[in-house]
Structure 1
Amino acid sequence: METFIKKLCSRYKVSEADVQSLLDCMEEVHFKKRELIVREGTKNSNLYFIRNGIWRAYYHKDGEETTIWFASDGEAAFSVWGYVDNAYSLVNIQAMCDSVAYCISRAALNQLFSSSIGLANLGLRLMDHQFLQQENWLINPGSPRAKERYLNLIKETPELLQYVPLKHIASYLWITPQSLSRIRAEIVANNVVMTD
């Protein structure tokens, strides 16, 4: 639990006291591998902090799933549509492995935001983080940046390779699974050459 709190404090620049105040008002929830936390076309205004696990958000287009983000230990996850506007979600959020998270409704969170400047600032940082994540995803699609994005992704969250099928990572990178296989083979070949 201590490591989880430190990750939250570091990632969102919030004090341990504010994180503890927030966690005191949240409910611990458990999800099984492949379970949908948010289903496309439903309303879910909850905010989740992932204690253990990896989640992904994706949408369907032309019968294919396109992954738009991954979240792991110490990160916030939510449907922007439900959280911001109590609207129907345009994405699914799925647990990629058995997961434990903390959950709070938007209404309860608003009450906390009005009681603490530190927590109100956390709310702003959550949105900032979400905007940056989405813009990075939109601006950097496909090759030739795919290799760089893949390397950054596995550097930041190496456990993705353990829990997330490569087809989902490929869709996040806006490339085909075959292109991702070529990138991975090139990385392995270059590492072998560099270590000889």
Structure 2
Amino acid sequence: MDAFIQKFCEKYSLPIALSLQLLDNMEKFTFRKGDFLVQEGGRNSNFYIVSKGIWRGHYLNDGVDVSVWFASEGEAIFSSWGYVENTASLVSIEAMCDSELYGISKAKLEVLYAESVELANFGRRLFEQQLLGLESWMITGGSPRAKERYLTLLEENPELLQYVPLKHIASYLWITPQSLSRIRAELGRRKKDQ
């Protein structure tokens, strides 16, 4: 079994057989670094699972590029506005490296939900996870906790440093790239002293 399926099942508490059923109804897509799933102001109501690569959700705030989330192997990605309301997205979803996704239209996914209580419950758990992630990002934002957020991000997604420019990681942490450099230097000194 592919590693991304295992991660997907663990993250969303989905039995492997059910995840394979879902994947059987999805189409595989390949993207290059810098490709967009949707750009701010565009529409995309499809649902995707990352099988390979790193993705970033971001928006422009007075010309400043702000990272909202990162997603990697085994995680679901979609435009909330496109999926829920079929309206224009307020974030751009961009590939940070060459990537592969499995995708399904909202209409086809809704049919699967109607046919399976287990898949419908997966859909509910998915949105619960999205809500928790968003609240966590909002609550822990800001400089006083930036070091802890950085360490948590590295623990949960160590591959980010290979593919995501530090300026995007800094914006996700709500700090400047210079502040992130100071945090990294401090952590490097501590590691050296141990």
Displacement of 1:144 after TM fit? Answer: 1.3
What does residue 136 of structure 1 align with? 136
What does residue 96 of structure 2 align with? 96
- Does residue 1:183 correspond to 2:154, yes or no? no
Displacement of 1:137 after TM fit? Answer: 1.2
Q: Deviation string for 1:116-161 (max 9, x for gaps)?
A: 1111111011101111111111111111100000000011000000
Letter in 1 for 2:36: L
RMSD between aligned residues: 0.8
Letter in 1 for 2:92: N
- TM-score, normalised with respect to structure 1: 0.97
Q: Secondary structure at the match of 1:144?
A: helix
For residues 17-32 of structure 1, the aligned pairs below 5 Å read: 17-32=17-32
| Larger deviation, residues 114-123 vs 161-170 | 114-123
Q: Deviation string for 1:3-54 (max 9, x for gaps)?
A: 2221111110011111011001100001100111111111111111000000
The separation in 1 between residues aligned to 2:6 and 2:68, in whole angstroms, is 26
The separation in 2 between residues aligned to 1:2 and 1:68, in whole angstroms, is 28
For residues 85-124 of structure 1, the aligned pairs below 5 Å read: 85-124=85-124
The separation in 2 between residues aligned to 1:9 and 1:137, in whole angstroms, is 23
What does residue 84 of structure 2 align with? 84
Q: Could you list the runs of 4 or more consecutive aligned residues of structure 1 that deviate by over 6 angstroms after TM superposition?
A: none
Gaps of 5+ in 2: none
What does residue 10 of structure 1 align with? 10
Q: Secondary structure at the match of 1:90?
A: coil
Number of aligned residues: 194
Q: Secondary structure at the match of 1:45?
A: coil
Q: Secondary structure at the match of 2:138?
A: helix
The separation in 1 between residues aligned to 2:5 and 2:188, in whole angstroms, is 35
The separation in 2 between residues aligned to 1:59 and 1:4, in whole angstroms, is 27
Letter in 2 for 1:134: L
Does structure 2 retain, via aligned residues, the 8 Å contact 1:12–1:122?
Answer: yes
- TM-score, normalised with respect to structure 2: 0.98
Q: Deviation string for 1:41-87 (max 9, x for gaps)?
A: 11111111000000000000111100000000000001110111111
What does residue 157 of structure 2 align with? 157
Q: Secondary structure at the match of 2:143?
A: coil
What does residue 42 of structure 2 align with? 42
Displacement of 1:2 after TM fit? Answer: 2.6
The separation in 2 between residues aligned to 1:104 and 1:154, in whole angstroms, is 30
- State the identity %: 57
Letter in 1 for 2:12: Y
